[in-house]
């Protein structure tokens, strides 16, 4: 095919949900996608970054046996590609380790591109594992010039994108494993549209989808024409195969009308590498797939559901168990778990103490009925009394304080872990980001669990999500009283969260400013917050670091989450 003659090139974007280290399973996904793309008449199929290993493979990359098995998997796939071409994200060992993209056609690897920008901030550690490439790669596939980038490469205008623009590419293929946080997809599309318009080239962005530990990948693979307009978009948080017909002539005509690349510095560029590939017969034009973008609460809900589902299923847990207090956090966690796993895979446990109100007991009962999940009743009064009796000689003469409150939380944690041990089900911790930030949680108590879905969800966002889910259901799936009643841990008579914390409407903006944006005291005071409250909250956040280190991982939702994103020393006297 030659560009400029009205001939289009059909491209498939294989948006896959891979599992880190599952080379055989990932190979199967790639092979199936290639067959579907061939059947759809795709001349080129683009896959996500490191699709064979899953992303991020972390210290698996330090194992020599992993290197050997990855190379063998790539060669096996290449031998099966006899029609069209594919660009597959892979690990390459050549005196060092590279994050690479292999161009495959005619049963063999014909060219390899090495990622040039290695992110080493936030959740990324690529400089720990990879050596950066230093050369652009442009391939000629059926007369279409295709430049290759890998994820971080495309986020900067120079030199990777500008090199490809100077080379006059018709299409920029970007293989990506771009972790999600709320709102990132919109930012990413704005950036990609700019790259397409600046380079006067179509941009084909293929992103990973699914959960991997605390990270979630949203997919949302997208194609932009040479003017920066979106012409195709895949699903969010679900595997997809996006088929799109690209007219390379749009790029050529735009370069003539708006010759932006003439102003780029002249660079020595190798001639495009001609890829030998057999054409795929195409009879009809591809139907354009342009999925709509989710609204904010819907997007966050879908991201949490995807994270829970994949953590549980990919790690082969038969289901989850959740302590249901009657409060909003456990109710929201249970509703998310049911949407992610189905009611049959979710078990609730009600563990009332002498301080638990009838309203809390009733709300837990109503919630379990609404969600159609099993509910076990395990009163803890006798368990707590046994703990206190055993400790009485040690505590003789000491007044009752938070210690006795925490015994209740730890009794509940012990029961939940016993159920987990017996059934194999994963305990979902129900704490939110507001509580985790300031340490308003009990180590080995309500922090017990293997996964914390709300770990990066503020209390105010908890309420927004609960109201959104009820509106979607058209009924109070989560009992209204769980949402409207003042939050309380019910570990002593008439206890409220505001006895120990500022109101969440005041607390959450301080946490966001300090944790997510690194604002100091003066900057937060300038935003209208009380100085003494700001200083108190900051001290609480830093003192709780040792707790968070021992708590379960959870889903990254904000631009800066605790864990991989924010790494503070436990022993730390700077404030």
Omega of the bond prior to 379 within 30 degrees of 0, cis?
A: no
Mention every residue, 6+ apart, whose C-beta is less than 8 A from residue 151.
49, 115, 119, 174, 175, 176, 177, 178
Closest CA to 490 of 446, 547, 456, 540: 446
115 is catalytic: yes
- Which member of 70, 90, 151, 206 is catalytic? 151
d(CA 273, CA 478): 59
What are the φ and ψ backbone dihedral angles of 533, each rounded to 5 degrees? Answer: -65, -45
Q: Is 237 in contact with 15 (CB distance < 8 Å)?
A: no
d(CA 554, CA 281): 46
Q: Is 416 in contact with 450 (CB distance < 8 Å)?
A: no
d(CA 46, CA 104): 10
3-state secondary structure 396-411: CCCCCCHHHHHHHHHH
3-state secondary structure 73-127: HHHHHHCCCCCCEEEEEEEEECCCEEEEEEEEECCEEEEEEECCCCCCCCCCCHH
Q: Is 333 in contact with 426 (CB distance < 8 Å)?
A: no
547 is catalytic: no
3-state secondary structure 262-311: HHCCCCCCCCCEECCCCCCCCCCCCCCCECCCCCHHHHHHHHHHHHHHHH
The first and second tokens of residue 526, run together, are 């300038």
3-state secondary structure 440-478: CCCCCCCCCCCEECCCCCCHHHHHHHHHHHHHHHCCCCC
d(CA 454, CA 222): 29
SS3 state of residue 487? coil
Helix (H) or strand (E) holding 10: strand 9-15
Q: How far is CA 207 from the centre of its chain?
A: 12
- Which member of 49, 92, 189, 490 is catalytic? 49
Half-sphere exposure of residue 222, counting CA atoms within 13 Å on the CB side? Answer: 23
Q: Is 333 in contact with 348 (CB distance < 8 Å)?
A: no
The first and second tokens of residue 486, run together, are 């003042």
d(CA 400, CA 388): 11
- Which member of 92, 115, 174, 297 is catalytic? 115
d(CA 18, CA 310): 10
Report helix angle 531-543 to 504-511, nearest 10.
70
90 is catalytic: no
DSSP of 133-147: P----EEEETTEEEE
> How many other C-beta atoms lie within 10 A of the C-beta of residue 415?
19
Catalytic residues: 49, 115, 151
């Amino acid at each position: 095919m030659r560009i400029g003659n009205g001939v289009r090139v059909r491209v498939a974007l294989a948006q896959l949900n891979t599992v880190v280290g599952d080379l055989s399973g990932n190979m199967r996904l790639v092979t199936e996608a290639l067959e579907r793309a061939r059947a759809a008449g795709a001349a080129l199929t683009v896959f996500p970054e490191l699709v064979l290993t899953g992303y991020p493979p972390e210290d698996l990359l330090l194992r020599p046996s992993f290197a050997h098995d990855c190379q063998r998997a790539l060669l096996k796939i290449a031998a099966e590609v006899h029609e069209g071409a594919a660009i597959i994200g892979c690990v390459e060992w050549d005196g060092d380790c590279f994050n690479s993209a292999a161009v495959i056609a005619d049963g063999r690897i014909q060219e390899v591109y090495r990622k040039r920008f290695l992110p080493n901030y936030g959740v990324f550690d690529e400089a720990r594992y990879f050596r950066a490439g230093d050369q652009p790669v442009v391939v000629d596939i059926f007369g279409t010039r295709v430049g290759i980038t890998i994820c971080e490469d495309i986020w900067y205008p120079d030199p990777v994108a500008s090199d490809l623009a100077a080379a006059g590419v018709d299409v920029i293929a970007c293989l990506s494993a771009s972790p999600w946080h709320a709102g990132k997809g919109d930012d990413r599309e704005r950036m990609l549209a700019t790259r397409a318009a600046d380079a006067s080239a179509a941009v084909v962005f293929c992103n990973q989808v699914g959960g991997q530990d605390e990270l979630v990948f949203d997919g949302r693979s997208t194609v932009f024409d040479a003017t920066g307009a979106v012409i195709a978009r895949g699903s969010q948080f679900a595997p997809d195969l996006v088929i799109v017909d690209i007219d390379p002539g749009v790029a050529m005509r735009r370069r003539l009308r708006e010759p932006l690349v003439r102003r780029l510095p002249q660079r020595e560029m190798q001639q495009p590498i001609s890829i030998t590939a057999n054409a795929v017969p195409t009879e009809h034009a591809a139907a354009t797939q342009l999925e709509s973008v989710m609204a904010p609460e819907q997007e966050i809900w879908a991201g949490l559901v995807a994270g829970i589902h994949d953590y549980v299923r990919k790690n082969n847990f038969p289901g989850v168990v959740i302590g249901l207090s009657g409060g909003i956090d456990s109710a929201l966690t249970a509703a998310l778990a049911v949407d992610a796993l189905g009611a049959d895979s979710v078990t609730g446990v009600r563990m009332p103490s002498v301080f638990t109100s009838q309203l809390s007991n009733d709300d837990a009962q109503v919630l379990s009925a609404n969600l159609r999940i099993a509910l076990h009743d395990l009163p803890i009064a006798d368990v707590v009394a046994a703990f206190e009796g055993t400790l009485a000689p040690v505590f003789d003469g000491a007044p009752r304080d938070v210690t006795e409150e925490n015994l209740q939380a730890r009794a509940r944690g012990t029961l939940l872990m016993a159920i987990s041990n017996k059934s194999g089900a994963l305990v979902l911790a129900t704490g939110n980001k507001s509580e985790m930030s300031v340490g308003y949680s009990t180590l080995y108590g309500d922090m017990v669990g293997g996964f914390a879905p709300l770990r990066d969800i503020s209390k105010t966002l908890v309420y927004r999500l609960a109201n959104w889910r009820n509106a979607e259901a058209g009924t109070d799936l989560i009992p209204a009283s769980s949402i409207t009643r003042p939050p309380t841990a019910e570990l002593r008579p008439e206890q409220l969260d505001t006895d120990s914390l500022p109101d969440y409407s005041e607390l959450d903006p301080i946490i966001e400013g300090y944790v997510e944006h690194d604002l100091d005291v003066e900057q937060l005071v300038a935003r209208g917050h009380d100085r003494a409250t700001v200083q108190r909250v900051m001290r609480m956040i830093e003192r709780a670091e040792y707790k968070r280190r021992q708590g379960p991982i959870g889903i990254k939702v904000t631009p800066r989450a605790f864990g991989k994103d924010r790494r503070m020393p436990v022993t730390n006297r700077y404030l």
